Structure 1
Amino acid sequence: MDIPINILKEIWLVTTAMAPYLLFGFLMAGVLSVLISKDYVRRHLGGHGVLGSVKAALIGVPMPICSCGVIPLAASLRKHGASRGATASFLASTPQTGVDSLMITYALLGWVFALFRAMAAFVSGIVCGTAVAAVSPRDEEAPPECRDECCQPNEQPVLKRMLLYGFVSLPRDISRSMALGIVASGIISGLIPDNFFEGQLGSSPATMFVMLLIGIPLYVCSAASVPIALAFIKAGISPGAALVFLITGPATNAATLTTLWQIIGKKQLGVFLATLAGCALLAGMLINLFTPSLGIIEQVCHEGGTNSILDLVWTALLIAVLAKGMLPERKPAG
């Protein structure tokens, strides 16, 4: 019975550690959903050159949209006149992070890792966008005025829109993946002893290539990938290898590659994947290089438990929000 108990214990510890930060992330996601409208995104992603990719990455990094949600938005951006480069930059940077996943990264892996992750998403978005633009024809048109329903004024009070998106719409999109990520983290931590891979395997560059091969076809959202990365690091995998997984896992998956093909083109898709993989490996090498001096391993969550009533309250609230998000959406009568 030790293994099931250890798994349940690890699931509880991860949930408790991330609860207040994820709830705060949901709140900030709701705020951003009002401040950065889809119409605003569309109007600023046209044109060529590095500037379009930079603007797309700046918009994409804080937006709480995972790879399943970014595809239709990217398709809409492209349809409304966004350049291939800006679209690729948005596709690379947006699913890697979000205000919610960065808060979880801070809670479980420390502020240095969270900063590295945000910088990696921003830089890889710019590099991917610039690379795609370099192999794309200059046939883009300026984006027309958005007339879609989602771009029209919303008559609901601002606070209500923030809370509905942050604690209803967003959890509905990520709750199942989030729960699977937490359970996967508990299973890995419960079955594999701490520091099991420490030594040659954990720090080997080959491990980063393994994480690359796992991350590219796998579907995992940016928030759900963090507890899995935590479990890998606790088992002895290097922070660099974990970062490779955090970059490629959310940014790509097998189900969306065909859609990307249609959005940005066959040749551009190949350049996009090769560039993103290169950025992930380089980011992994850099974080491993700076790990000893920045104390990244020491910042990783190793809590053995909590006795705080407030922590229990946050955990109960998070479980309630995620559970509600997994319930079937009610359709209006009539």
Structure 2
Amino acid sequence: MEFLADILNEFWGVLGEMAPYLLFGFLVAGLLSVFISQKTVERNLGKPGISSVAKASLFGIPLPLCSCGVIPVGASLRRNGASKGATTSFLLSTPQTGVDSILVTYSLLGPFFAVYRPIVAFVSGLLGGALVEVFDKNGSRFNGDIEDPCGDSCGIPEQRTGNKLAQAFKYGFVSLPQDIGKALIVGLVIAALISYIIPDDFFTGLFGTGIASMVVMMVVGIPLYVCATASVPIAAAFMAKGISAGAALVFLMTGPATNAATISTIWKVLGKKTAFLYLLTVVISSLAAGFLLNYIYTSESIPSMPHAHQMVPGILENSSAVVLILILSYALIQPYFRSRTTRKAFEMSDAQELNIKGMTCNHCAANVQRVIEECPGVDEVTVDLTAGKAFIKGEGFDLKCAIEAVTKIGYSVA
């Protein structure tokens, strides 16, 4: 029992450290979701050249999209005229960071790291986009010819009429926590276990501070699916046990930016050459940024876990942690009750059902719903993310159209 109490103490320490900043990040992310529309992004990225590549990388930095949620956005940008280079730039910079993860980075790793991380995300996006512009100019459309069935599907929530503040709060404190909640809790548990089990300076003696530790973090990060926010407590715990700041940065870049599903989808919709350049950019930029960070980042700047900074009063940390736990609990439990209600309602109707594989977040579910709604004859679509199902109502609609629309944007129908 003492073991569990110590683990829980480590968990709560990290949670309290990041909670005030993450809650503020949720609020800002919600406001961004309302006031930055898909059309605004597309209008600025539609022209070829390095300026669109730079804008794409810059637009991606504050958006709270994970590597799965950013794919539909990239698909929409590409279909609406963005060059391959601009699309690649956006796909590179966006999942590495976001306003929520920047604030969490500040809370656990300090201000220098919080500034350096988005700068590196911007530069890597710029580099990847430029490489694609130079070496993969061919093709003005997606491989697979994604047409109108995709509609305006996008990971950026649509602007709607009505109370924008209510929409912002719903996205920031319901939808976004649902998307990152599981990964965040897993990340906190892993960080707590690392802090408790692994001796101080263990990794310093094992890998040193050179390229070996960076390669290890890269091998761990590339195939792993971890969002930009959930990766921060893990990286902070590794640093507290002797991993260099540069190696931690490599993990923070490769974990969110790459995983098997992301690479395979980019291969499918942008081509194998672009997929190779994407992966090459992540490898080169993460190693280069890691080496530079080790050179300029002093040991005195490295925080200790779990309390790196004491800028926030303890009562605010603890109360924020309680609020965050309540938000995450609601976000994780509510979809299961909604899923049961949805299934019961549609089982008693004449709706047709599709089993869809590959949906991992609310952005995915919204994307699937929008493309199915574009099919002629469809009256109503409800997507159950928890069950991985879409329920479709309508007279005379073609089920084949719905299946094709879903598969063309990177998901599969069982």
**Residue of structure 2 equivalent to 1:164:** 170
**Residue of structure 2 equivalent to 1:309:** 315
**Residue of structure 2 equivalent to 1:226:** 232
Name the SS for the 1:193 alignment partner. Answer: coil
Cα deviations by residue, 1:37-69 (Å, 9 ceiling, x for unpaired): 122112222232211111011100010111121
Query: Alpha carbons of 1:108 and 1:232: their partners in 2 closer, same or farther (altered >3 Å)?
Result: same
- Is the CA contact (8 Å cut-off) linking 2:35 and 2:159 kept in structure 1? no
Structure with bigger gyration radius: 2
- Is the CA contact (8 Å cut-off) linking 1:7 and 1:191 kept in structure 2? no
Distance in 2 (alpha carbons) for counterparts of 1:127 and 1:194:
36
Distance in 2 (alpha carbons) for counterparts of 1:78 and 1:181:
33
| Amino acid aligned to 1:231 | A
Question: Does 1:296 pair with 2:289?
Answer: no
**Residue of structure 2 equivalent to 1:44:** 44
Equivalences, count: 330
**Residue of structure 2 equivalent to 1:264:** 270
**Residue of structure 2 equivalent to 1:55:** 55
Query: Alpha carbons of 1:290 and 1:39: their partners in 2 closer, same or farther (altered >3 Å)?
Result: same
Question: Does 1:287 pair with 2:293?
Answer: yes
After superposing the two structures, state which structure 1 stretch, 182-191 or 70-79, moved more.
Answer: 70-79
- Is the CA contact (8 Å cut-off) linking 1:48 and 1:138 kept in structure 2? no
Question: Does 1:235 pair with 2:241?
Answer: yes
Distance in 1 (alpha carbons) for counterparts of 2:326 and 2:116:
31
Per the TM alignment, residue 251 of structure 1 is displaced from its structure 2 partner at its CA by 0.3
**Residue of structure 1 equivalent to 2:26:** 26
Name the SS for the 2:204 alignment partner. Answer: coil
| Amino acid aligned to 1:112 | F
- Is the CA contact (8 Å cut-off) linking 1:208 and 1:240 kept in structure 2? yes
**Residue of structure 1 equivalent to 2:152:** 148
- Is the CA contact (8 Å cut-off) linking 2:222 and 2:259 kept in structure 1? yes
| Amino acid aligned to 1:148 | D
Per the TM alignment, residue 255 of structure 1 is displaced from its structure 2 partner at its CA by 1.9
Distance in 2 (alpha carbons) for counterparts of 1:175 and 1:272:
27
**Residue of structure 1 equivalent to 2:351:** none
Query: Pairwise mapping of residues 1-334 of structure 1 onto structure 2 (< 5 A)?
Result: 1-140=1-140, 148=152, 154-199=160-205, 201-292=207-298, 295-297=300-302, 299-303=303-307, 308-329=314-335, 330=338
Name the SS for the 1:303 alignment partner. Answer: coil
Distance in 2 (alpha carbons) for counterparts of 1:20 and 1:129:
35
Cα deviations by residue, 1:47-105 (Å, 9 ceiling, x for unpaired): 32211111011100010111121112212222222211111111110000000000000
Ranked by relative contact order (alpha carbons within 8 Å, sequence separation 6 or more), the top structure is 1
In terms of fraction of residues, the more helix-rich structure is 1
**Residue of structure 1 equivalent to 2:376:** none
- Is the CA contact (8 Å cut-off) linking 1:127 and 1:275 kept in structure 2? yes
Name the SS for the 2:82 alignment partner. Answer: coil
After superposition, the CA RMSD in angstroms is: 2.4
Cα deviations by residue, 1:248-289 (Å, 9 ceiling, x for unpaired): 100010122110101221011111111111000000001100
- Is the CA contact (8 Å cut-off) linking 2:26 and 2:173 kept in structure 1? yes
Name structure 1 gaps, 5 residues minimum. Answer: none
Distance in 2 (alpha carbons) for counterparts of 1:307 and 1:154:
38
Per the TM alignment, residue 199 of structure 1 is displaced from its structure 2 partner at its CA by 4.4
Name the SS for the 1:327 alignment partner. Answer: helix
Query: Alpha carbons of 1:137 and 1:210: their partners in 2 closer, same or farther (altered >3 Å)?
Result: same
Distance in 2 (alpha carbons) for counterparts of 1:173 and 1:71:
15
Q: Give the TM-score normalised by the residue count of structure 2.
A: 0.75
Per the TM alignment, residue 149 of structure 1 is displaced from its structure 2 partner at its CA by 7.3
After superposing the two structures, state which structure 1 stretch, 71-80 or 242-251, moved more.
Answer: 71-80
- Is the CA contact (8 Å cut-off) linking 1:239 and 1:284 kept in structure 2? yes
Per the TM alignment, residue 148 of structure 1 is displaced from its structure 2 partner at its CA by 2.9
- Is the CA contact (8 Å cut-off) linking 1:17 and 1:108 kept in structure 2? yes
Distance in 1 (alpha carbons) for counterparts of 2:153 and 2:213:
46
Q: Give the TM-score normalised by the residue count of structure 1.
A: 0.92
| Amino acid aligned to 1:7 | I
Name structure 2 gaps, 5 residues minimum. Answer: 142-146, 346-414
| Amino acid aligned to 1:272 | Y
